[in-house]
Structure 1
């Protein structure tokens, strides 16, 4: 979408006009619609994961998922995603390797392809997160609402409603209207005069999305916590030391170089698979499955390499100090390679894989002299996220949202490294029974809403 050209005087007149009041009212409608659809998408995705990777093997007579189980599943994911890309409008959304917010604007006619490709990619185990599909869903629904209200709407109206829809949908992922608005507005890269026009409708849409997150979870008993980013329980960073400062620059350079390699390979893969999607995407899916199976040679489950990594964050942080350095290194290498393959061929977001790999890299870096876990994870995670997204402010906000280095950790959805079935079959992966450090007052519904704001 071409950024509309408005002078400072035009912006002032627009904000004071009745038309802008209509924008604000319409942004609330867009926020409600976008958040409802995003909530449904984020609820359906983990249901597909559990049905395919936990329940289906048992229904087929296996006592536990066989080691080769990811191979046919990820091949099927490649076939479905290829059909969505080649047979439906919009080519399934933007290519993750091209960067966050790349590609043309999502039209409402593109939504079926975006949703199908996203569900196949995320639900069937590829190493991508929900950020890009959810943002595309919100943008497309924003344009749809504008089209239903006024077919020949001006460009600035389309931009405002598209941003409001994206903020509302993305707020379902991070449960924070402020984080959502910061990420979307930085990704849009608007000029100074347009920021005031887009900011308030975007915040309204994001706020509506956060309210829907709370309300639907309480009403239905379902939630989108599979992709929620809770504060990680790490040792406090303590006072800033010279050692932490000294280690920051070389660690950031190494992480940035590694992510650059991952993204560059992903872009090359995207060019290779583009001419024959129906052939190459199942092959790439099988390649990701093989990488996951190779990780089982360390004694861990293949599910740790698969998926976005959101569910495995808390368990890997808890077990990190006890895991051998070689296991963590193999996890970074294999999941990084799987991430590169996924971002070149499939459709999804880069946020959660970057967070997970940054966390694992930080757990490796904490073994350096003078570098506590809180500082190490903060350094590596921030470097990984900013290298993947190329959005510096958003990367700092997302890293801060993870709560690295905080003393008072929030709710922790304690799970095993790969999924519920492995949790039942591997008692050694079960979390300890020690009580979590909690904030003093109990969380009421009112405080739950307040905690949405950073």
Structure 2
């Protein structure tokens, strides 16, 4: 993600501060713009979602989340996104199954189609988040505009700033971006202190996070029952829940190449995406409307009433959402896998609490999210950070660090939920 050329090379006798200082203004500008792009796309998608899932069914006298309406809306979303992928310049970017958080630089003419496909996906209900396409759009914009306005800056600077800025904006804090950058830099031979390499990306992430916080005031805290002092039972629960969640996630990871290959055999986006939408509608009919969309708002609804569903219902929602994520990521919808994975892990953790009341709901949720994210994203720091901020309790961190160890042993060295261009899984 972050390249060694993410900062200008100092002249032989220039102090590091003089080399790093020119990064500050470009980083802040990229951070602000990246956040505004994310907020703009989210606002448009939320308004369109309200029209499609509230205004339109009310006007037609159809139940908002009836089985019929879910089937119609998800299939129609597949048709609309399929049209964009078919006809838009650049086909709305490469196959999303081949992309991770480290976005490729796309030509500017590709970005409008990708934005339209992303808005339609977010509003229409498929189980994907905005992270991957928004990072790709911001990387493309930063690379194109930055290269023209500041041609003397290294070309690798702009993707690094844009990726960091978008991650900071998505999570509302630069800490997430700093952790991802540090993980990306691990094992590389750096040309100076780590914080020299982090300087520009961290500034961009901070600007993106602050812009998001000032404009939208996001929060990931689910306001679960307070958790103050871990016990031996909590340690055991975290180890078991995180490992089981990771194992569940790996089922989808191993199925990913086969499901993706099945949709690829349909050979046309106007076949693959509508069929995928229809399958997603059928899954929603089984799991209920909470298994639709990216999952962040729906996670809050689950957490507000941990006792509102039975263990079987929570487990059904987790399995259905995982299947929906697998289908949506395989058939060509443009989106990321982090936010749906948070819903899956939350539902799985609450299922553990419902089935075994001795499992604290905060421990169950944090451990479930940790294990699921480790399996789906293979991003250790992002998984640990996201699981921790959902509970917002310092006492949970020690448990999660222990729980990550067996879960990581289950997923490391195995295929990832990302494919190469030839369809083989990334290892």
Alignment TM-score, normalising by the size of structure 2: 0.81
Residue of structure 2 equivalent to 1:397: 385
Unpaired runs of 5+ in structure 2?
396-427
The reply on whether 1:306 has 2:292 as its aligned counterpart is yes
Q: Deviations over 1:37-59 (max 9, x none)?
A: 22211211111111110111122
Moved more, 70-79 or 206-215: 206-215
**Is the alpha carbon distance of 1:51 and 1:209 closer, same or farther for their aligned partners in structure 2, counting shifts above 3 Å?**
same
Aligned to 1:284: 276
State the match for 1:128 in structure 2: 128
For residue 171 of structure 1, report the CA deviation from its aligned partner. 2.6
1:348 aligns with 2:345: no
The residue that corresponds to 1:203 in the other structure is 202
1:5 Cα offset (Å): 7.2
Go from structure 1 to structure 2 and tell me whether the alpha carbon gap of 1:65 and 1:258 turns closer, same or farther (over 3 Å shift). closer
Distance 1:325 1:65, change over 3 A: closer
What's the secondary structure of 1:232's corresponding residue? coil
The one of 310, 317, 323 equivalent to 2:303 is: 317
Distance change (3 Å), C-alpha of 1:372 and 1:158: same
Alignment correspondent of 1:191: 188
What is residue 399 of structure 2 aligned with on the other side? none
Instruction: Give, in whole Å, the separation in 2 of the partners of 1:14 and 1:403.
Output: 45
Counterparts of 1:142 and 1:169, CA distance in 2: 11
Paired position in structure 1 for 2:313: 327
1:96-129 Cα offsets, whole Å, 9 max, x none, are 5446326633443431232122112111110011
1:58 aligned residue: 58
How far is 1:163 from its partner? 1.8
CA contact (8 A) 1:27 1:205 kept: yes
Question: RMSD across aligned C-alpha pairs, in angstroms?
Answer: 3.1
Contact 2:31 2:205 in 1 (8 A): yes
Q: Say whether 1:357 aligns with 2:344.
A: yes
With over 3 angstroms needed to count, the CA separation of the structure-2 counterparts of 1:11 and 1:104, relative to structure 1, is farther
* Contact 2:306–2:361, Cα closer than 8 Å, also in 1: no
Counterpart among 163, 167, 178 of residue 166 in structure 1: 163
Query: Which residue of structure 2 lines up, in the alignment, with residue 387 of structure 1?
Result: 375
Shift in Å, 1:313: 1.5
2:57 and 2:63 in contact (8 A); partners too = yes
Q: Please tell me whether residue 42 in structure 1 is matched to residue 42 in structure 2.
A: yes
Separation in 2 of the partners of 1:185 and 1:122? 30
**Deviation at residue 352 of structure 1 after TM alignment:** 1.1
| Whole-Å separation in 2 of the counterparts to 1:7 and 1:334 | 44
The offset of 1:349, in angstroms, is 1.2
What is the Cα deviation at residue 319 of structure 1? 2.1
User: Structure 1 residues 384, 14: CA separation in 2 closer, same or farther (over 3 Å shift)?
Assistant: farther
Contact 2:318 2:343 in 1 (8 A): no
* Structure 1 stretch displaced more, 310-319 or 231-240: 231-240
- CA-CA distance at 1:73 after TM superposition: 1.8
Conserved in 2, the CA contact under 8 Å of 1:284 and 1:341? yes
**Alignment partners' CA distance in 2, 1:313 and 1:349:** 17
1:242 aligns with 2:232: yes
Q: 1:255 to 1:62 in 2, by over 3 A?
A: closer
1:290 offset after TM fit, Å?
A: 1.0
Aligned length: 389
Residue 419 of structure 1 aligns with which residue? none
